Amino acid sequence: MNILYLLIGCSILLALGFLAAFFWAVNTGQNDDMETPAMRILFKEDVPEEKEGER
């Protein structure tokens, strides 16, 4: 059962890592705009140039 000491320590360290990642994301403003990036990802990259290639 003594392995539990190690396991609990590891799991808390891991969770702290995620907490730190969340802090970093909030501090760098990644949660400030939740809407626009979701729409932006649907845009095709430079459509007109692709068309020229096809021609």
Partner 1 sequence: MNKQVAESEKCYHCGTEINGTGYIADEKEFCCIGCKSVYQILSARDMCSYYSYNDSPGQAQLQTAVNLDYLDEPSIVSKLTDYNDEQVSSITFYVPGIQCSSCIWLLEHLHKFNKGVVHSRIDFLKKQVAITFRNQEISLKELVMLMISVGYEPLISLQDVVKEKKDSVNRSLIKRIAVAGFCMGNVMLLSFPEYFGMAEIENQFRILFGWMNLAFAIPVTFYCGREFFQSAWAGLKHKIINLDAPLALIIAVLFLRSAFEIISGSGPGFTDTLTGLVFLLLMGRWVKQRTYSHLSFKRDYRSYFPVAVTLIREKDEVSLALEDLKVGDRILVRNNEIIPADAILMKGDALADFSFVTGEAVPIPKVLGEILYAGGRQLGEAIELEVIKPVSQSYLTSLWNNEAFTRPVKETSNFNDSIARYFGIVTLIIAFTAGTYWAFTGDSVKAWTSFTAVLIVACPCVLSLSTPFTLSGILSIFDKHLFYLKSPNTVEQLAQVNTLVFDKTGTITSPDSAEVNFTGDLSDTDKLLTASLARNSAHPLSQKIIQKIRTGFYLSVLDFKEIPGKGISGIINGNLVKLGSPTDPRRNNSSAGSAASHLEVNGIYKGYFKIGQYWRSGLRSLFDDLAQTNELHVISGDNEADKEKLSMIIPNGSEMHFRQSPLSKLNYVKSLQEKGKNVMMIGDGLNDAGALQQSDLGVAVTDNINTFSPACDAILNGKSTTKIPAFIRLSKDALNTIKASFIISGTYNIIGVYFAVQGLLSPLLAAVLMPLSTISVILFTSAATRYYAAKNHLL
Which residues have CB under 8 Å from 50's CB, separation 6+?
44
Q: Smallest gap, in angstroms, from Cβ of residue 29 to partner 1?
A: 8
CB of 22 to partner 1, least distance (A): 5
Q: What does the block give as tokens for 22? A: 């969340």
Q: Which residues contact partner 1 (rule: CB under 8 A)?
A: 1, 4-5, 8, 12, 15, 19, 22-23, 26-27, 31-36, 39-40, 42-44, 47-48, 51
Nearer to partner 1, 36 or 53 (CB): 36
